[in-house]
Each structure stands twice: as C-alpha cells, then as structure tokens.
C-alpha cells in the first residue's frame, strides 16, 4: 500500500516505518524535524520536511492510509506551553483529517497515550473503558484527538484506530531514543551506565513493594508491530481504541537492577522526591489488543534493556569517531 507516516523521523515513527518497508509498503514520511532526525528515517522511505498542517500537499488520492505520530510529547512542557500542544497535536490532527477527507483517504492509525487516563484510582491494569481523566495538556490533547476520530468515523466514514502507549523502550535495527531533553527512565539509566554519572530516581515513598513507581515497559519493536495489525483492523466508519502494554509492571528499582545486570556496570542513583502527578502504578490491560488485533508482546524487560544498551553504545562510538 501507499502510506503516509507523519512524524516518521521520531523514535516510534521511525521503527514503524522500518517495519512497513520490510512488509513491502510504499512509505512517505512527513516530519518537520523539530524533534525527529532525518538520519532516523529508514532507507527506502521518501522524506518530506514539512509541518503536519501541510499534509494536504503530500497526500494523494492513491494514498491508502495514514499512520499519525507527529506530535509534541513532553508532559511538563505541555503545562508551561499549552498553546503549542493544542496547536500541533490537536489543530494539526484536524488539518490532517481535513486533508485526508479531501483526498479520499479513509484509514488512519493514531499514536495515542496512557496519559489520557491521568492518575488511576487503583493499581489494577487499565482497560480501555476505564474513565479517561487527563491531568495535563498533553494527555488532554491526545484524548481530544481520540474523540475527534470517533466523530470523524461517525460523520465521514473514517476507519480509525487509536493505540494508547504505556512506557515504550528499547531499540530496533539501529533506531532508538534520541530525545532532547531526555526524560525517560531507561535511556537516562543507560547514559549513567555509559558515563559513570548518577541517575535520579523520582520518588521512593510510593505504596509499592519497594517504594518506587511501577510502569509497564514495552519493547518498541513489539509496539511497532501492533501498528501494522491496526492498519489492517481500521474499518471504515469505526473508531477503535487499544491499550499497548505487556500487562505487567516493573518498579524503577527493578529497572535499575536490570540495567546493572545487562550492562555489568554499577549504575549509581540518587533518590529524589516524587514528581507532581506521578501515578504510583501505571500498567495496561492488553486483553483487547490480544483479542481484537491478534497482538501480544514477545520481548521482556531484559531484552528491552539489552537492545537499548546496544543502541546507546553504538551512538557513543559513532560520536567518538565523527
């Protein structure tokens, strides 16, 4: 199929693009490179450097579907600069949908987030029918897009699938996390392992077995594979929502211990206070994705850490020889 991938120069978008190309699809990547990297776009994809608001200039009537990753994604920044998040994530998606409608493109897979759920009332795995109560503009904007897609499906016959990510980690075929600033736990721990500098743990007084927050860590390749299945599951006139996670969680301490075991290095950590709004436990129920998409994760935490560690070392070696 001829496909458009918005945000395909970013972390998840680039890995999904790689899998789409491997499956034989014709892929165009649309990315403004504000946070993505041109060299992360896999060979074989056409790259158009432009804003998602200008998707109408890239779409053609023979485009079969769009996979939409283009977004701003820093939770903290969304609270201090909400206008940018509503403009890019919500208004940008509206512009994309209008362009799709004009060109007769009727299938979309959307990169949503567990942030739509806010702070869960219990530690039970979150289901798609649990009430969404976002606590920041980033989560609120993603939820607004989910609702926009539902109305678009009803009114215009769009076939849309929203995939709500929990904690994505790992690397695949030389593609990994390259955020600036980096706010995710695993790449920061691996940088600490590489450089011998301490990493910070946010909160040690959570009501969990070891006092640190528990999260559901999903390998990026497993996540990416779900997008190809979602592409096939996008049925005109319907909007479907799926959580993507392993169905289990690991505490920050467990992740630190796994990093030490995988790298063989004594990673030092400094304990700090909780960050405001940080849930103690955030774990996905993936039952709907298993039954509705035929998807299940294949990789565990140790393999996720090992792949991310290989990527981290390769990036460091490339910088040294540059």
Helix (H) or strand (E) holding 292: helix 287-293
Give dist(CA 24, CA 164) in Å, integer. 26
Which tokens in the block code for residue 168?
């994505």
**Which residues of 182-255 form beta strands (DSSP E)?**
199-202, 214-215, 217-219, 239-244, 250-251
- What b/e sequence results for 78-102 when a residue is b if at least 16 CB atoms lie within 10 Å of its CB, and e otherwise? beeeeeebbebbbebbebbbebbbe
Strand pairing class (159-165; 46-49): unpaired
Is 117 tagged catalytic? no
Which tokens in the block code for residue 141?
């904007």
Q: Can you give the length of the chain in residues?
A: 322
Query: 172: which DSSP letter?
Result: B
**Which residues of 69-221 form beta strands (DSSP E)?**
107-113, 159-165, 167-169, 199-202, 214-215, 217-219
Closest CA to 113 of 153, 188, 163: 163
Q: Up-side HSE of residue 309: CA atoms within 13 Å toward CB?
A: 22
**Which residues of the chain form beta strands (DSSP E)?**
2-6, 26-31, 46-49, 65-68, 107-113, 159-165, 167-169, 199-202, 214-215, 217-219, 239-244, 250-251, 269-272, 281-282
Give dist(CA 69, CA 56) in Å, integer. 16
- The catalytic residue among 11, 85, 138, 217 is 138
Active site residues: 138
């Amino acid at each position: 199929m001829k496909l458009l991938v918005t945000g395909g120069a970013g972390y998840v978008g680039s890995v999904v693009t790689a899998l789409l190309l491997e499956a034989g699809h014709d892929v165009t990547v649309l990315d403004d490179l504000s946070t993505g990297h041109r060299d992360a776009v896999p060979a074989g994809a056409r790259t158009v450097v432009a804003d998602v608001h200008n998707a109408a200039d890239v779409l053609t009537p023979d485009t079969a579907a769009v996979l939409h990753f283009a977004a701003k994604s820093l939770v903290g920044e969304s609270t201090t600069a909400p206008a940018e998040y509503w403009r890019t994530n919500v208004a940008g998606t509206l512009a994309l949908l209008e362009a799709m409608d004009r060109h007769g493109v009727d299938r979309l897979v959307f990169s949503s987030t567990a942030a739509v759920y806010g702070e869960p009332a219990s530690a039970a795995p979150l289901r798609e029918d649990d009430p969404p109560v976002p606590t920041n503009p980033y989560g609120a904007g993603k939820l607004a897009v989910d609702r926009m897609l539902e109305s678009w499906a009803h009114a215009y016959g769009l076939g849309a699938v929203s995939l709500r990510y929990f904690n994505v980690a790992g690397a695949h075929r030389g593609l990994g996390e390259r955020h600036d600033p980096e706010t995710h736990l695993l790449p920061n721990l691996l940088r600490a392992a590489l450089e011998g500098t301490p990493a910070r743990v946010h909160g040690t007084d959570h009501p969990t077995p070891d006092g640190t927050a528990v999260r559901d860590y999903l390998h990026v390749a497993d996540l990416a594979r779900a997008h190809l299945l979602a592409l096939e599951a996008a049925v005109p006139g319907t909007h479907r929502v799926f959580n993507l996670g392993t169905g289990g969680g690991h505490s920050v301490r467990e992740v630190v211990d796994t990093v030490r075991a995988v790298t063989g290095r004594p990673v030092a950590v400094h304990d700090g206070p909780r960050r405001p709004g940080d849930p103690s436990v955030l774990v996905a129920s993936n039952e709907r994705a298993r039954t509705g998409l035929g998807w299940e994760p294949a990789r565990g935490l140790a393999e996720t850490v090992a792949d991310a560690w290989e990527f981290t070392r390769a990036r460091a070696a490339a910088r040294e020889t540059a």
